[in-house]
Amino acid sequence: MLSRVAENLYWYGRYLERAEDLGRLINVNGHLMLDLPRKMAPGWAPLIRITGSQSLFDELFDDNGERQVVRFLLAEPRHSGSVLSCLNLARENLRAARDLLPREVWEQTNDLCLTAQAQLAGNLSKRRRQEFIDLMIRRCQQLIGMLSDIMSHDYAWDFILLGRYHERADMTTRILDVRSAHLLRGVDDIKPFDQLQWMSVLKSLTAYQMYRRHVRLRVRGPDVLRFLLGNPLFPRSVVFCLEAMAERLEGLPEHEDTLVAVGRLKRLMDQADPEVLVQGQLSEFLDRIQLELIGIGESITQTWFRVQPSE
């Protein structure tokens, strides 16, 4: 497989996952704002920090209210990480590799982009916004299900899943880092609402029901961290993502260096003690995970996407 095509497929997987995760994050934050007292609500600014796009947002908008943040994250064409931009970029990456995938996948991806462009062209009410996000999430999940069922599970499939799980691990750590920051400061005013806010962290990752099934206790910070960082059975935990990436890597040629990097991060995860992390070390630990994930991405790029032609 050409390195350029492999890169297109990897980023197709990443952009689909990013669009889905962003949409869910917007919906859950809207519900949280309604559930908490106004003075306790985190507002919309944390979503900008989660996406790491604060400087661009500050250039484009003067206020970080709901309308501005949602516009920026959903439909801002100058923001390459908006849902609309992610869907467009997913389509463009798929266009370059469409000969390797079933025709139905291209048609569904293209239709999803056209739907997003039409529905996000004007201002959306909160109801229509939620309806669009729900539709978009379902369509992204349907695309992955379609790929799984009708596409050969060869190198092309490996690169799509490699991108998807890499993006998912990254987003899980970002959400944990930003969402948990004010919960771990010990501010008395927010203590009565700790459980509600940890529940929102779980819901941001569609993890609440599975958490209750596995943990069966009231929602506590250390238990949430243990579940989202290290549960090997939940598909959005960091450890599950790393193990899924390792499985895909083992089927690719020249995988040794990248597999070592994934294994190193997996060992770091195995050493984590959530009861200790909630005492003040969580942000530093999540920063280490982020750096390791960046290193894994660089290894993927150098190994398969920047291959020098043999002389």
Indicate whether 76 belongs to any domain.
Answer: yes
* 143 and 163 belong to one structural domain: no
Structural domain ending residue among the three candidates 150, 177, 193: 150
Q: How high is the pLDDT of residue 195?
A: 85
Structure tokens at 191: 């203590």
* 140 and 69 belong to one structural domain: yes
Q: How confident is the model at residue 301 (pLDDT cuts 50, 70, 90)?
A: very high
* 81 and 224 belong to one structural domain: no
Structural domain ending residue among the three candidates 122, 150, 178: 150
* 133 and 172 belong to one structural domain: no
* 141 and 245 belong to one structural domain: no
Answer whether residue 199 shows pLDDT above 80: yes
Q: How high is the pLDDT of residue 35?
A: 77
* 118 and 184 belong to one structural domain: no
Average pLDDT of the segment spanning 144-167: 96
* 9 and 87 belong to one structural domain: yes
* 27 and 146 belong to one structural domain: yes
Indicate whether 260 belongs to any domain.
Answer: yes
Answer whether residue 263 shows pLDDT above 50: yes
Indicate whether 311 belongs to any domain.
Answer: no
Q: How confident is the model at residue 276 (pLDDT cuts 50, 70, 90)?
A: confident
Indicate whether 310 belongs to any domain.
Answer: no
* 198 and 282 belong to one structural domain: yes
Indicate whether 55 belongs to any domain.
Answer: yes
The angle formed by the CA atoms of residues 173, 177 and 178, to the nearest 5 degrees, is 125
Indicate whether 106 belongs to any domain.
Answer: yes
Indicate whether 183 belongs to any domain.
Answer: yes
* 178 and 245 belong to one structural domain: yes
Taking residue 142's Cβ as centre, other Cβ atoms within 10 Å add up to 12
- In one letter, which amino acid is 85? S
Indicate whether 236 belongs to any domain.
Answer: yes
The residue that leads in pLDDT, 222 or 164, is 164
SS (H, E, C) the chain: CCHHHHHHHHHHHHHHHHHHHHHHHHHHHHHHHHHCCCCCCCCCHHHHHHHCCHHHHHHHCCCCCHHHHHHHHHCCCCCCCCHHHHHHHHHHHHHHCHHHCCHHHHHHHHHHHHHHHHHCCCCCCHHHHHHHHHHHHHHHHHHHHHHHHHCCCCHHHHHHHHHHHHHHHHHHHHHHHHHHHHHHCCCHHHHHHHHHHHHHHHHHCCCHHHHHHHHCCCCCHHHHHHHHHHCCCCCCCHHHHHHHHHHHHCCCCCCHHHHHHHHHHHHHHHCCCHHHHHHHHHHHHHHHHHHHHHHHHHHHHHHHHCCCCCC
Residue with tokens 């095509």: 5
Least confident of 29-38, 112-121, 172-181, 206-215: 29-38
* 80 and 205 belong to one structural domain: no
**Phi and psi at residue 186, to the nearest 5°:** 75, 25
- Number of structural domains in the chain: 2
In angstroms, the CA 16 to CA 93 distance is 11
* 145 and 160 belong to one structural domain: no
Answer whether residue 187 shows pLDDT above 60: no
For the four alpha carbons of 207, 157, 166 and 141, in that order, the dihedral sign comes to negative
Q: How confident is the model at residue 308 (pLDDT cuts 50, 70, 90)?
A: low
Q: Which domain holds residue 198?
A: 153-305
Structural domain ending residue among the three candidates 123, 150, 177: 150
